Amino acid sequence: MLLMIPGPVQLHERIIKAMCRQMIYHRGEEFAEIMKYCVRALKPIFGLKDGTISIISGSGTAGVEAAIASFGKIRKILTIENGKFGERIREIAEKYYETEKLKFEWGKSIDLGEVEKKMKGCDAVAFVHNETSTGILNPAKEIAKIAKEHDALVIVDAITSAGGDYLKMDDWGIDVAITGTQKCLGAPPGLAIVAVKDDAWKYYNARNYYLDLGSYRKKLSELQTPFTPAIPLFLALAEALKIIEEEGLENRIKRHRTLNLAVRKWAVEAGLELFPEIDEYSSYSNTLTAIKIPNGITDSQLRNTLKKEYGIMISGGQDRVKGKIFRIAAMGNVGKFEVLSTLVAVEDVMRRFVKIKSSIEIAAETLRAL
């Protein structure tokens, strides 16, 4: 099965092989060397020079909760949502703090003027950088700039952008950023990574136990984790990071952007409508494309036929957009062969039900840049 979904992603054979070995002692020298390498290799992906990298055995959501709950000196936090994962941030924040909520229709751009208004009286803000539920890239740099004018802590869910698009914590003023291994890093699911700038620790006062980032920070000085880590996943992560370094981060970002640009061009040329509405600050996601399902074909007809006949899996819409959109992700280890194969298959299935223009050539032309 070819997974063209927003995680888990296809694994490189080297990463699979890295996991298939005997266990090692998690308090020993070999694990310490793996931890040391992972921390060093992850910092450029976050755009972070000085700071703490915590690697948690848990999903990306565990990382988001760790990032929110560990900074208990926050009095009031602003959450911004224009999709499923922004909504999840708000739900987590509400369990810990007084929460100022800023909601936009799913797929709509974030209004920075509204952010400015709502930011007053808040000493933290949390939002999603790349919202894969709707295919929109939110203006992290601009939101962080507004927050810093209010001397607020900036927490960013970068789970589906880190490693596949630009993320510049130092340059943009982001204090805390989270990612997961099963997205653009191209590793298996099961590890959450939280990057924290040194200045952010002034807000530290953990309201949790297992996800207490202070515990991870303390153990990092010994190149260990506070609790037993998922060792095979650390081995996989180390190999995935080696692959990223071999490709080069800039080249990797270019590849992700080109792959997803090809999908968008294909969709527009075919006469399909992209789901998100962007403005001068937001843009289309560079790791996933969300497309409206045209009249004449259903979500199940499209995705089930694609899976049964071609062995390709794409994603449907979530929650309130379920049955209204389909999503093609191109992240992690996939290349132009996988993208082009997916588009040929999707086009074949769709043309049995609806009249769309064949547009494979425009996608192929875009992919020739790789």
238 assigned to some structural domain? yes
350 assigned to some structural domain? yes
Rounded to whole angstroms, the Cα distance separating 304 from 345 reads 12
What rounded mean pLDDT belongs to the chain?
98
Residue 8 has which token pair?
A: 């888990």
Q: What is the pLDDT of residue 299?
A: 98
284 & 352 share domain:
yes
Is residue 144 within 8 Å of 172, Cβ to Cβ? yes
> Total structural domains in the chain?
2
Rounded to whole angstroms, the Cα distance separating 312 from 349 reads 12
331 & 237 share domain:
no
40 assigned to some structural domain? yes
42 & 54 share domain:
yes
CATH number of the domain residue 146 falls in: 3.40.640.10
pLDDT band at 155 (very low <50, low <70, confident <90, very high): very high
Q: What angle do CA 313, 316, 322 make, to 5 degrees?
A: 160
pLDDT band at 49 (very low <50, low <70, confident <90, very high): very high
1 assigned to some structural domain? no
Closest CA to 255 of 370, 122, 172, 350: 370
Rounded to whole angstroms, the Cα distance separating 129 from 147 reads 15
86 & 162 share domain:
yes
Q: What is the pLDDT of residue 287?
A: 98
97 & 213 share domain:
yes
297 & 188 share domain:
no
5 assigned to some structural domain? no
- Of all residues in the chain, what percent carry a pLDDT higher than 70? 100
CB atoms within 10 A of CB 171: 11
Region 358-363: mean pLDDT is 96
- Of all residues in the chain, what percent carry a pLDDT higher than 90? 100
- Domain end call among 221, 247, 273: 247
33 assigned to some structural domain? yes
186 & 43 share domain:
yes
- Domain end call among 247, 280, 297: 247
298 assigned to some structural domain? yes
128 & 230 share domain:
yes
Region 7-22: mean pLDDT is 97
Region 150-174: mean pLDDT is 98
Region 58-67: mean pLDDT is 98
Q: What is the pLDDT of residue 138?
A: 98
CATH number of the domain residue 310 falls in: 3.90.1150.10
Residue 128 has which token pair?
A: 């999603």
Closest CA to 178 of 195, 199, 160, 198: 195
131 & 222 share domain:
yes
289 & 239 share domain:
no
Secondary structure of residue 167 in the 3-state scheme: coil
Secondary structure of residue 188 in the 3-state scheme: coil
Q: What is the pLDDT of residue 186?
A: 98
What does 204-258 look like in DSSP terms, one character per residue? -B---STT-HHHHHHHHTTT--SS---HHHHHHHHHHHHHHHHH-HHHHHHHHHH
- Domain end call among 228, 247, 266: 247
* 23 Rama sector, left if φ>0, alpha if ψ -120 to 50, beta otherwise: beta
Range of the domain at 342: 249-367
3 assigned to some structural domain? no
